[in-house]
Amino acid sequence: MKAIVFETYGSAEVLHLQDVPTPKPKNDEVLLKVQTSSINDWDWGLLRGVPFASRAMFGLYKPHLQILGCDVAGTVEAVGSEVTQFEVGDEVFGDLCRCRFGGFAEYTCANASALIKKPSEMSFVQAAAIPHPGVLALQALNYRGALEPGQKILFNGAGGGAGTLAVQIAKSIGAEITVVDKGIKLEMLLHLGADHVIDYQEEDFTQGGKLYDLIIDVAAYRSIFDYKRALAPGGRYAMVGGPSPKIFQLLLLGPLISITSGAKLGLMVHQPNKDLGVLVELFEAGKMSPVIDRTYPLVDTAQAMRYYAEGQAQGKVIISVAE
């Protein structure tokens, strides 16, 4: 089979198309004929070996993981002897970040528990854009308490996969939504349902005096004390991603600030595929649909990764494996 592989850490230039053996599923796995995959921060970080701590899992000097792609959608080609929930021909999708990744290939194996059946009205392109960012969005919106109608929510870095889904979900709940991102993405976010938009290059939302019941942060470029200043009494701050120094600051000071102020500040721990069925229900109800920026064929994955790294993408960048 053909796959996009890398044998050393680096930028998109180390990715190349190669013929590799088709994997065989274990007893609790399925063999998936991949139709589509998508690029996530996981993929970009693992390609570069950043943060360095990730190398403890994937290889200190050379990556043991050679095929990226955690979000996949495709057709079941074969099933292991212990798999009962799927049959050959089923259309499925899921997040393979705990299954050795492997989405940037014509075939991949995945534990059956990481997959769910794809609704017929959901395209393979849409399906590949949902699992990882959709679950992040759901978990962030319900971080240390459920989001309620009328609450004020701010999403910092809202123009990517997780943010564009979170805005739609929060809108369906009835929250008042403020989004922060580059100016080129703000019109799209207004169209999705954002009530207020902020260009972070022009305005510091932590200095404006407005308070929020929930701040979801995928950028984390400010001090934890800045975020605390923008929280309403009893408010919640969920860091979804960010640079290592900001993560360490949050882990060190977040619990103390939470105890002394009554606010709840913490690092959200991703739980892959949790409540993926809820996302299917939201999609079927017309309350949420992924935003697709561009689609690239498998052979152009390096080009797709370069575009993703520029930070200009609005929503998701898709890899079409089975053209």
- Could you tell me the mean pLDDT of each successive run of 10 residues in the chain, 323 residues long? 96 96 97 98 92 80 90 98 98 94 97 97 98 97 94 97 98 98 97 97 92 95 92 95 85 88 91 95 98 98 97 97 85
Tokens read off for 198 = 């902020």
- pLDDT, residue 15, reads 97
Tokens read off for 136 = 């992040």
Question: Within 13 Å and on the Cβ side, how many CA atoms surround 21?
Answer: 3
CATH number at residue 109: 3.90.180.10
Do 302 and 201 belong to one domain? no
Do 124 and 140 belong to one domain? no
Do 91 and 207 belong to one domain? no
Do 254 and 311 belong to one domain? no
Q: DSSP characters for 41-108? A: HHHHHHHHT-SGGGHHHH-SSS-S------EEEEEEEEE-TT--S--TT-EEEEE-TTTT---SBSEE
- pLDDT, residue 44, reads 94
Do 102 and 214 belong to one domain? no
- pLDDT, residue 27, reads 98
The answer to whether 34 and 321 are in contact (CB under 8 A) is yes
Within a domain: residue 302? yes
Within a domain: residue 273? no
The answer to whether 273 and 124 are in contact (CB under 8 A) is no
Do 65 and 89 belong to one domain? yes
Quote the number of domains for the chain: 2
**Paired sense of beta strands 91-95 and 71-79, if any:** antiparallel
Q: In the structure, how many helices (H) and strands (E) does the chain have?
A: 10, 15
**Paired sense of beta strands 292-297 and 316-320, if any:** parallel
Q: Which domain holds residue 47?
A: 2-129+291-320
Do 189 and 315 belong to one domain? no
Question: Whole-model pTM?
Answer: 0.95
Within a domain: residue 283? no
Cis before residue 51, ω within 30 degrees of 0?
yes
Do 221 and 152 belong to one domain? yes
